[in-house]
Amino acid sequence: MKQTDVIIIGSGIAALQLANKLSKSLNVMIITKKEITKGNSYMAQGGVAAAVGESDDPHFHYLDTMEAGGHHNDAEAVLEMTKEAPGLIRGLWHSGCRFDEDQEGRLLLGMEGAHSMNRIVHSGGDATGKHMVDFLLSNLGANIGIEQSAFVYELILNEQRDTCIGVKAKFTDGSNQAYYASHIVLATGGCGQLYSFTSNAETATGDGIALAYIAGAELADMEFIQFHPTLLYVGGKTRGLVSEAVRGEGAFLVTGEGKRIMEGVHPLKDLAPRHIVSQTIYEYLKKGCQIYLDITCISNFSARFPTVSSLCLEYGVDLDKGLVPVVPGSHFLMGGVKTDLYGRTGITGLYAIGEVACTGIHGANRLASNSLLEGMFIGSRLAGWVNTRTLSAFSRGQEFQKIKFLNSAVKLPDEEDLKKSMMDRTGIVRTKESLISQKAWLAGFGFNEWLDTALDHLTSEKINILFMYLTASLITESALKRTESRGGHFRDDFPYEDNFCWMKKQIIHQRKTVKDGTHEYNQTALAT
């Protein structure tokens, strides 16, 4: 048993911002599933959106965020974030985090899809996430410990199951370790690896979502998955992200014959919201037509986009021809563990920040380059809240104990089958028939049978599959229930927004204890 004040599960921007802002008097433990830089934040090519330009204003940023989010967003939360964004960027810049500048030493501001003006701050061209993570890591205090390659597989609750008091983690040698703290923070990222085409790091398998659901926390908006339009596609597989900033610099999508596919589809053409671009590409792919990103208009492409260029060269794409083969793939989860603007969940002592959380800021579709911003914003707010709490003498008290063990021979879905089925049936374009088929397929693995069993003796790999399976079930159920199209959720049988029935409605998932001590799977649509 190990005891500390704050446990942070994950090591992305939200986690590191929180860790850096917490009081140095607190003992903090960061627990990561893999190495500390093996996450989506470190891979982030895009930048950070903030209204720092002379002609820009946080209200314009707010309007763009609301429009991209299908007005499903929490408007007050969006406005709070966009107002604080310039200060967050300048705070990092002035403390030594280097962002790209113009010749006069001003922040160089780029354009990305669905933004009304240039407001994207980058670092190292298309290596913003790496530079920011490296900077935040270099500033961690001596009060912060790090456990790497430790897979958190259970949240430890008190006997009443209303307070989170710790976590259980499994190491690569199969050993388990329990950690206890007053504050447990989920910063585990999203679930992009549930899909066969994805931009996400291999660690993004929905762990935090599954952990929170099993513990009884509320989940919201799980149907809203953002599919990034441009993933490099070579040899029948996605090979990595081609940043939206490439289109922001003038690149456009074409067929092999040179036809521009976004002409007449949306006023913003190739910089339309991501779900519109992704759906357009998908329609061409269904007809067997490969789509390319035409980069011929961008001078000095390799210097401007070194990460993308290296990726293309690695997989044999000749940049001199000016055509980069792309497909859309899962990129970001707008939903997740339902929290307030301090990251607090409905379970005392349990918090969620970053992509694993649903604050309402992103609505039905995240505006480009708002993800790193939201992580910084909520990470800072949670730190401020925790810093004002008086830590009482910690007592484990009576823990809730799982007395049944899952049979290690339990039938599990094949990971690749799961990914392909999610891409085909709960992917970019959904129908009632495809979702019912996916729900039935997933039901065949009976996840209710293992939710209340102890997983201590299973391998990390098996637990990971179980968590992926559970998260896939939650996404599919939500997608079936929302009978409209909005943002990242597109139903071919309900192709339009239904503001009368669905405007500002969330689908909530939560396990609720009933009198006999078992649990029921509960979903309801609630007004926000």
Q: Is residue 314 part of a domain?
A: yes
Query: Quick one: pLDDT at residue 16?
Result: 98
**d(Cα 310, Cα 305) in Å, to the nearest integer?**
9
**d(Cα 177, Cα 492) in Å, to the nearest integer?**
47
Q: Is residue 300 part of a domain?
A: yes
CATH number, domain of 304, equals: 3.90.700.10
Percentage of the chain beyond pLDDT 70 is: 95
Q: Which of 528, 414, 407 is nearest to 472 (CA)?
A: 414
- Look at residue 17 and tell me whether its pLDDT is greater than 80: yes
- Look at residue 521 and tell me whether its pLDDT is greater than 60: no
Query: Quick one: pLDDT at residue 514?
Result: 43
- Please tell me the least confidently modeled range out of 27-41, 164-178, 506-520: 506-520
Domain count, the chain: 1
Task: Print the domain residue range for 263.
Answer: 229-329
Average pLDDT, the chain: 93
- Look at residue 528 and tell me whether its pLDDT is greater than 80: no
- What pTM does this model have? 0.93
Query: Quick one: pLDDT at residue 274?
Result: 86
- Are 329 and 228 within 8 A, CB to CB? yes
Tokens coding 493: 């049988």
**d(Cα 217, Cα 210) in Å, to the nearest integer?**
10
**Helix/strand/coil (H/E/C) assignment for every residue in 86-129:** HHHHHHHHHCCCCCCECCCCCECEECCCCCCCCCEECCCCCCHH
Q: Is residue 302 part of a domain?
A: yes
Q: Is residue 118 part of a domain?
A: no
Query: Quick one: pLDDT at residue 403?
Result: 80
**d(Cα 233, Cα 242) in Å, to the nearest integer?**
10
List Cα–Cα distances, 116 to 251, 273, 390, 428, in angstroms.
17, 11, 44, 25
- Look at residue 316 and tell me whether its pLDDT is greater than 90: yes
Q: Which residues contact 367 (CB under 8 A, 6 or more apart)?
A: 49, 64, 65, 68, 69, 114, 115
- Concatenated DSSP letters of 311-334: HHHHTT--GGGTEEEEEEEEEEES
Q: Is residue 274 part of a domain?
A: yes
| CA atoms within 13 Å, Cβ hemisphere of 193 | 18
- The model's pLDDT over 170-193, given as tens digits with 9 standing for 90+, comes to 999 999 999 999 999 999 999 999
- Are 368 and 49 within 8 A, CB to CB? yes
Q: Is residue 182 part of a domain?
A: no
Tokens coding 237: 């597989």
**d(Cα 336, Cα 186) in Å, to the nearest integer?**
11
Identify whether 430 is a catalytic site residue: no
- Look at residue 527 and tell me whether its pLDDT is greater than 60: no
Q: Is residue 465 part of a domain?
A: no
DSSP 488: T
**d(Cα 138, Cα 159) in Å, to the nearest integer?**
39
Tokens coding 486: 């909005």
Q: Is residue 427 part of a domain?
A: no
**d(Cα 486, Cα 279) in Å, to the nearest integer?**
12
- Look at residue 524 and tell me whether its pLDDT is greater than 50: no
Q: Which of 98, 106, 260, 274 is catalytic?
A: 274
Query: Quick one: pLDDT at residue 520?
Result: 44
Angle CA(375)–CA(378)–CA(384) in degrees, nearest 5? 135
Averaged pLDDT, 442-468? 89
